[in-house]
């Protein structure tokens, strides 16, 4: 099936298509390894688990290689085979230059209800707040929940402890053998993380997506040791993550005393619940503002973006109008511009507003040498231009006299320019939405929160994943 995908796929660039078809590399991999270990009763950070991983990947490699050799006899080897060193040595040809990898399974592992790739379990419980019913919902590792109920130590208080970032190792009511079996990513030493990756790397001809987790107190020397061990054990590369290493503004507090104290200092004026400052109120709109309008070609037609400036020449509001009025596209453009305007009028940094919109992908097209991925991306491009060239923006006097060369770059639309673009949209890979992240204080360090649902993010496989709502970012 994977070999067929190479022929059925559509490629954005001819060079990529040529390289892909000439080598026919595949990415056969696996997920659910940590779940398998739990079902077998084998702790992740043991020699037995490492040896099992080594045997498992060797088994997959032998079968994948055998199938690729068989397909080469039926369909022919990959075109670049004849120029390769193995071909010169008279070895049997493969259909595919590479067969195996361990990719970041991200969303699909959550859909499948399996642990990610060869990663250990990241957390045994996540918490999500149901704002409609005011209830707290817990997402619990299915194997842990089953064993906890069978052994009689399952409780809401335990789930609350785990979902707040607490460790199972601190719980007296949990049997020692269960604590040992359910070592999560933060309980496993960096050395054991690397050794597990190395075991799989022995039989994997491509890279492996695996995170080497470090505690917050890890030193430069600790990270250096992990890299040296990875080099000595012939890993192709590793991804390291030190807990709490990302500096972010704390917007949502946890349940610790220090977090409550931090929240009490936030904001000004009246407060709501502990740690939540009073809501910001957008500034009133003056009766008259000056601004500029720029036409941007998008995959949904010509978009005319107007940015009005405040008295101190800061972006104050945004209007986005499609060349053709009405319809869902026009409604979405208006909705996006309204929310962007609300943020700007509330004092949000225009750079932060632009970053929220930048990279969202719909139907990409080129506009004056710039890739415009969608209507939100078009609005971000205009905001970016204004921010970057703020010193060169026209004054009110220059606009009224029509003498500014800068104003000419943002000409208002003419009747002939109204309508859909004639340029055909090109197919491009889907972009990744750039989002600001907030943090919650958990124990002695800050943990990242999901930008969609504010649950704790897992850092696995070099990616950020939310097990509560399914959000992932690599």
Two structure tokens written together for 342: 């609300």
- Where is average pLDDT lowest: 97-111, 336-350, 431-445, 455-469? 431-445
In this prediction, residue 133 carries a pLDDT of 58
Q: Which residue has the higher pLDDT, 24 or 346?
A: 24
| Mean per-residue pLDDT, 142-159 | 94
Quickly state the pLDDT bin for 234 (edges 50, 70, 90): very high
What is the pairing mode between strands 370-372 and 365-367? antiparallel
Sign of CA dihedral 256, 45, 196, 64: negative
pLDDT at 402 over 50: no
Domains of the chain: residue spans and CATH: 1-123+184-243 (3.20.70.20), 124-183 (no CATH), 257-279+437-473 (no CATH), 290-417 (no CATH)
Question: Above pLDDT 90, what percent of the chain?
Answer: 45
| Mean per-residue pLDDT, 404-419 | 43
Report which listed range, 2-6, 166-170, 241-245, is most confident: 2-6
Quickly state the pLDDT bin for 62 (edges 50, 70, 90): very high
Cα separation of the two ends of the chain: 25
* CB-side neighbour CA atoms (13 Å) of 165: 22
Q: Per residue in 358-388, is it b (16+ CB within 10 Å) or e — as a string?
A: bbbbbebbebeeeebbbbbbbbbbbbbbbbe
In this prediction, residue 38 carries a pLDDT of 97
Q: Which residue has the higher pLDDT, 255 or 97?
A: 97
pTM over 0.85: no
Two structure tokens written together for 383: 């905001």
pLDDT at 430 over 60: no
pLDDT at 259 over 60: no
To the nearest 10°, report the CA torsion of 10, 12, 16, 20: -10
Q: Which residue has the higher pLDDT, 219 or 469?
A: 219
Report which listed range, 6-20, 313-327, 349-363, is most confident: 6-20
Two structure tokens written together for 166: 């607490």
């Amino acid at each position: 099936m994977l070999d067929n995908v190479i022929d059925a796929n559509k490629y954005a660039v001819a060079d990529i298509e040529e390289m892909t078809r000439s080598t026919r590399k595949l990415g056969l991999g696996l997920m659910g390894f940590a779940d398998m270990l739990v079902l077998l009763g084998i702790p992740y950070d043991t020699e037995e688990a490492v040896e099992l991983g080594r045997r498992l990947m060797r088994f997959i490699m032998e079968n994948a290689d055998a199938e690729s050799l068989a397909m080469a006899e039926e369909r022919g080897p990959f075109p670049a085979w004849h120029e390769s060193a193995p071909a010169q040595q008279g070895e049997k040809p493969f259909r595919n230059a590479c067969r195996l990898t361990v990719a970041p399974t991200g969303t699909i592992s959550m859909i499948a209800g399996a642990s990610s790739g060869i990663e250990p379990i990241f957390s045994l419980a996540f918490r999500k707040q149901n704002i409609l019913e005011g209830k707290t919902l817990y997402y619990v590792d299915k194997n842990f929940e089953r064993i906890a109920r069978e052994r009689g130590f399952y409780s809401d208080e335990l789930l609350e402890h785990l979902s707040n970032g607490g460790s199972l190792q601190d719980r007296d009511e949990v049997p020692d053998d269960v604590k040992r079996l359910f070592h999560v990513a933060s309980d496993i030493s960096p050395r054991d993380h690397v050794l597990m990756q190395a075991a799989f790397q022995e039989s994997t001809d491509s890279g492996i997506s695996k995170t080497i987790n470090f505690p917050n107190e890890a030193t430069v020397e600790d990270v250096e040791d992990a890299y040296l061990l990875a080099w000595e054990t012939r890993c192709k590369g590793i991804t390291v993550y030190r807990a709490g290493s990302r500096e972010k503004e704390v917007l949502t507090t946890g349940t610790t005393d220090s977090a409550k104290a931090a929240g009490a200092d936030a904001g000004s004026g009246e407060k709501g619940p502990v740690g939540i400052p009073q809501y910001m109120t957008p500034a009133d709109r003056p009766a008259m503002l000056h601004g500029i309008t720029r036409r941007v070609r998008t995959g949904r037609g010509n978009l005319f973006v107007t940015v009005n400036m405040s008295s101190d020449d800061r972006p104050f509001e945004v209007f986005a109008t499609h060349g053709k009025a009405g319809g869902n596209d026009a409604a979405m453009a208006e909705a996006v511009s309204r929310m962007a305007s609300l943020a700007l009028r509330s004092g949000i940094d225009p750079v932060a507003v632009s970053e929220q919109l930048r990279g969202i992908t719909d139907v990409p097209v080129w506009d004056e040498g710039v890739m415009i991925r969608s209507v939100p991306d078009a609005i971000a491009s205009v905001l970016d231009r204004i921010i970057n060239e703020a010193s060169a923006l026209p004054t009110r006097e220059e606009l009224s006299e029509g003498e500014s060369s800068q104003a000419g770059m943002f000409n208002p639309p003419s009747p002939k320019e109204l309508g859909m673009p004639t340029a055909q949209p090109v197919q491009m890979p889907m972009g990744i939405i750039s989002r600001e992240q907030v943090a919650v204080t958990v124990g002695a360090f800050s943990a990242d929160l999901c930008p969609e649902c504010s649950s704790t993010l897992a850092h696995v496989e070099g990616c950020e994943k939310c097990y509560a709502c399914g959000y992932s970012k690599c």
